[in-house]
Structures are given as C-alpha cells and as structure tokens.
Chain A
Amino acid sequence: MSRRNLLAAALIAPLLLLVTLSFLVPLGATLYRAVDDSEFSTTLPRTTALLRAWDGKDLPPDAAFAAIVEELRTAQQNQEAGAVLSRLNFEETGLRSLLLQAARASARLAPPVKDSLIALNPRWGEPELWRLFKRATGPWTSLYLLRSLDMRPTDKGIVHAGAEDAVFLPLFWRTFEISLIVTVICALLAYPVAYTLSILPQGWANAGMMLVLIPFWTSILVRTTAWFIILQREGPINALLLAFDIVNQPLTMIFTRFAVYLAMVHVLLPFAILPLYGVMKGIKPDYMRAAASLGAPGWRRFLRIYLPLTMPGVAAGSLMVFMLSVGFYITPALVGGSGDQMVSYFIAFFTNTSVNWGMAAALATLLMAMTALLVIVARLIVPGFRSGNVKV
C-alpha cells in the first residue's frame, strides 16, 4: 500500500470503527432477531435434542414428554420460562396456558408422563402440536417475517390470513400510500415556489429562501407540536372558522388522516424545494431564449426544455421526501388517529409495548427492504441520479 493510502486508511479508520461498532453491528444483530429462534432450544435443551431427532410422524418418543415437563418446571422455578412461553404463545394463542398447566402439574403427573399429560389435556396427544414445537427448536424461523406479511407457517405450508385478519399488508400499503401522496403534494407545491425564487431578484429570493429555511431548521417535533396545537378542537383554526361563521361547530381535524397529510407536507416540503431550487438556479436563461428563437411557444418551451432540465431536481427532492416519509413516526403518532399509523409506529409498539422483538425486527427488516428497493428503483428510472447530489 502506498504511503498516501496508508495515511488515508489511518484517517478513515476511526469513523469506520465507530460506524461499524455502534451502527452496523447493532443493526445487524437487531435485524437478525427477525429470523432468530433460540428461545425454545435455550430454555428446553433436552427436549430440543429429542425433537430434532424425531422424524415428525405420529408422536415423539415418550422421553420427549418427560423432558418437556421437567424442563418447563425447572425453567418456571428459575423464572426463565417467560421468553419461550411468549414465543410459543405468539405462534398460537393459548399455548402459554397449556404449557403453564403442564408445568404446574408436573409434580403430580404419574409415570408414564405421556399418558398423564394427554389425560391432563388431550392436546398433548396431537402430533400437530409437537410438530409446532419441533419447528420452534430453531435455530431460525420465518415466523416473524411471514407474520409481518400476514402469513403463518403451519404443518401444511404457508397459510395466508383472510382479508379481515390482515394487519400488516394493509399497514405497509398505508405507509406507501401516505408517503406517495405526501411526495406528490410536496413536488407539486415545491415546483412553483422553487421557480419563483429562482427568477426573483437576489434580495427577494434570499428573503423567500429564509421562509423555506426557517421551517427546515426548526425541529420536526416543534413543527408537529405547532400543528398539534393549531388543529385542536379549541385551536386557532376552529376559533377562526367559528368567528367568521364558516362552520357552526368545531371541525374535527386532529387525529385524522387530513392532519397527518397537512403536518407531513409541512415538515417535508423544504426537502423538496431546496434541491429543486438548486437545479433551477443552474439553468441558464440561454436555453429558454434559444428555444424561443427556434420558434417554440411558451408552453412547449416549458414542456420540452424547462421541465426535462429541472426533472433531476424534482427526482432528487421527491426521493428524499419519500424516503423520509416511509420512516415517519412522530408526526402520525401525534396528529394521526389509530387508523393513520405507519410501519414505524408498529416497530415502536412491538419493541416497547408488546415486547415482541422478533416482530419489531421483522417489520424493521421489511421497512429497510422497502427503502432500499425504492433507492434502487429511483436509480434505475432517474438517469444520472446520485443520492450524493441531494444538497440540503
């Protein structure tokens, strides 16, 4: 390696180390939880060994019955059973109580354990239950990823949830829909603003730019808070509408999809204006003059010359807006209703509230895949697009 590259490597190393250790590794470990299935095998190692050896036909050997009961009881006594119970109960509701019942009864079960267990609850005699256990021995599972797509793994392959039970596909669709609408509105609003600012005399343009930059530098939370306050039933908008007798009773605006669109467009609009303004500033008036001298009327000059020339700015801004929209959390959480929440909300929910880290990781993985897919598609359909030239 040349002296130059040695120096370069030494300069880059600290940052690369930081990003690797405090971002890439945690991110990888987190996303791995989407497929990790180690609760059963960690807590019930002997049962795991027996089930892995079992061919999955009929019922497992008697030893497996004894093992699972004994290991469950020990785990329960050491307060280590929580994880595996949650894991199994997530796959099939009711399994927690079935297992707890067995663990509690374990001391009283007369040998052979198999028969006593089946006598305790006939479900223990169903091969289908044992095959579920066998699947849970890991080390990997598609359970969380499939659930995130409203599917579930069963004995007989993958089963799709019915339309009325579907939760996550509509969630992803809603996230996509909201992001798309916000992006389109931002692009449509950004275009005239950026154009006007780009042709105004410098002084006016700078003043106008300040009106874009002040919201841009103001934190998302502060701006969302402003909308949160403004859109209240007793808030300024309703006060104004009532005062001028435009409505008879206050409108419900907060906790609606409308509020989500309003606040998200407000938060993201500067991201669409800034790159577009940069591109428009760089277009020499000579092009338009040339088009005029070549006989193109105004609207054709716009469609054939100006619009294509400014398209990279529209694309860069729109991609930025869309990418940020897809990951939005705070704004919908504050001003949206329960039906307006996006994927991020559920990732937070599974992390904090329902403590199902597998689901949180699976949704995060799919959200990242969605974002990555978007960047790839954008690179393919927008020629010359580079994420680096988005100047904010």
Chain B
Amino acid sequence: MAGTVPSAPARKLSAGRLALALVTALILLFLVAPIVVVFPLSLSSGELLVLPAPGYSLRWYEDFFTSSRWLSATWNSFVVGIATMILATLLGTLAAFGIFLGRFPGKALLLAILSLPMVTPVIVTAIAMYFSLSLVGLGSTLTGLILAHTVLSVPFALLTVLASLQTFDQNLLRAAASLGANPAIAFRRVVLPLIAPGVATGALFAFATSFDELIVALFIASPGQFTLPRQMYAGLREFLSPTIAAAAVLLILFSVLLLALNEFIRKRAQARGASPSGPTA
C-alpha cells in the first residue's frame, strides 16, 4: 500500500488504493459510530435505551438539568477542573521555564520524576491518594480531589510548555537582556507571549484530564464531591437510565468544544507565525 510512490498529481485509483480507502473509512467509522449512536438514544422518549426509539423528546435532558445530583456533579466537575487547570498550568509553566533556563546535569532524570504521575497506572496513584489524603484529613474533600488531579495533569502542562520552549530561540532572551530587560520582564514580555499557545494547550489538557478523571474520584470522592464521571459511573452501576445517555452527549459536546478550542489555538499560533525570526533560525 505504502509502496506506491506518492507523486502529487498522479491520483490514479488503483484497486489497492481503493481497498486502503475503504479500510480507513471503516476504522474511522468504528471510532465515531459509538459516539454518534448515543445521540439518538439520549433523545428517546422511552424509559429504555433501545433503537429505534419509540419517540423522541428532551425529557432526559430535562431530567439531567433538574436533578440536584447531576447539577451538583456538574458544579463539582467545573470547580475541580478549573482549580486543577490553574494550579497545573502555573506550576507546570514555571517549572518548564526553569528546566529550559537551567544548566545542570540530570535534567532528564528530573523530567522523568516530574512526569512519573503520567506513566504510573492511575489505580496506583488513586490508592496512594486514598491512603494519604485521608491521613492528612483531605479525604472526601474537593481540595483533596483538586490536589490529586493537579498531580495527574501537571505533567501534560509541563511537557506541552517545554515542547513549545524547545522552538523558542534562546537568543531572544539574550536580546531582551541586552536591551535592559531583567529576567522577570523578559519572561512576561518576550517568553510568555511566544509560548502562550503551548501554555493554553497545556491548560486545556490539564482541564480535560481533570474533567474526565474517574478512578481517583472513585476512591476519594464521597457523594458530596461526586464529579460528572463519578456520578455517571454510579448511574451505570445502579440503574441504566437514559439520563446517562443525555449526560454522555453533554460530555461529548463539551469535549468537542475543548477540541475546537485547542485547534483554534493551534491555528492562530500558526497564522501569527509565532516562530523564531531570522532566516537561519
């Protein structure tokens, strides 16, 4: 399949290419179909999750928006998500800049340690949090959940910011210094505007990580701190009501919004040409 020499205009439709296109289309269908199927299910007027639905209505959305449980879970998700995003982005950006600036051995090791929460199986992080947060009296609190989510999502913020610093021209810092800017001003006026897309992407990732997180919430959230995924999981375990499908649809739409936001940031960064100046760079 990849054997065909991709020459730009020659787009002849050989049997091989057709088969490849078909296979790709089927796999992409497999990726989106389950997500799409939830939409008609959530709009069913019946009590059961069956297709075709006996009729269509918004009753399950109404149920979602009038249920104190779902609303409190939504509120908690946003509180935890936004707090996590702020903490992770702040700490991750500062540390990324520190790692970028510093000239010391063992950077790789430091980075490995700081991104350990990303490669540790979440269940292990979850039980570690469960044991220790209850020891310091933060079990079953939103603060505890925020702390745990920050630890989980900070590597994403750190690594995205670090990646955008990698394309940052060190000479710009030197230029800023030669023009009289101290490091703090140089960071604010020169570094931050240029790595802003990376910081924004990191923030978005941190928010999404917290917003989608279930396993830690499973261990350290009591019903009062239930987040949307936690509430959904509880629903799946108790009684499979179409409200869950409605909640799933709302979460999917929100994820698409986050994705669109991320693409927007990326496109804008490309258009603004936030790349190092000069033909040699």
The answer on direct contact between A and B (beta carbons under 8 Å) is yes
Overall SS of chain B's interface: helix
How far, in whole Å, are A217 and B257 apart by their CA atoms in the complex?
10
Centre residue among A16, A196, A208 by max chain B CB count within 10 A: A196
A285 touches B6 (CB 8 A): yes
CA distance A11 to B183 in the complex (A): 12
Specify the main secondary structure of chain A where it touches its partner: helix
Complex Cα spacing A27 to B129, Å: 8
Answer yes or no: B192 CB below 8 A from chain A CBs.
Answer: no
- Number of B residues near A (Cβ < 8 Å) is 89
B236, A225: Cβ atoms under 8 Å? yes
Asked if B34 and A230 sit within 8 Å, CB to CB, the answer is yes
For B183, the chain A residues whose CB sits under 8 A away are 7
Partner of A302, one of B2, B121, B133, B163: B2
**Chain A residues with Cβ under 8 A from B125's Cβ?**
23, 27
> Are A226 and B117 in contact, CB atoms less than 8 angstroms apart?
no
Known: A208-B24, A225-B232, A334-B236. A299 touches B3 (CB 8 A): yes
Residues of A within 8 A of B218 (CB): 348
CA distance A371 to B5 in the complex (A): 39
Given the known A-B contacts A2-B103, A27-B120, A289-B5, are A218 and B35 also in contact in the complex, defined by CB atoms under 8 Å? yes
Q: CA–CA, A234 to B248, complex, Å?
A: 19
Q: A143–B259 Cα gap in the complex (Å)? A: 48
Q: Which of A298-319 contact B (CB under 8 A)?
A: 298-302, 306-307, 310
CB–CB A5/B103 < 8 A: yes
**In the complex the two chains form, is B4's CB within 8 Å of A298's CB?**
yes
Query: B94 near A: Cβ within 8 Å?
Result: yes
Is there an interface contact between A229 and B151, defined as CB atoms closer than 8 Å?
Answer: no
A111 at the B interface (CB under 8 A): no
> Complex: how many Å from CA A293 to CA B158?
45
How far is A347 from B124 in the complex, measured between Cα atoms in Å? 8
Q: Quick one: given A8-B98, A189-B27, A193-B27, are A219 and B130 in contact (CB under 8 Å)?
A: no
Distance of B263 from chain A, by nearest CB (Å)? 8
Segment from A77-85, A95-103, A360-368 that makes contact with B = A360-368
B158 cross-chain contacts in A, Cβ below 8 A: 15
Q: A214-B259, A298-B4 are in contact. List 13 more A-B contacts (CB 8 A).
A: A16-B95, A19-B151, A25-B132, A29-B131, A217-B255, A219-B211, A219-B255, A225-B232, A228-B236, A228-B240, A334-B236, A344-B122, A388-B111
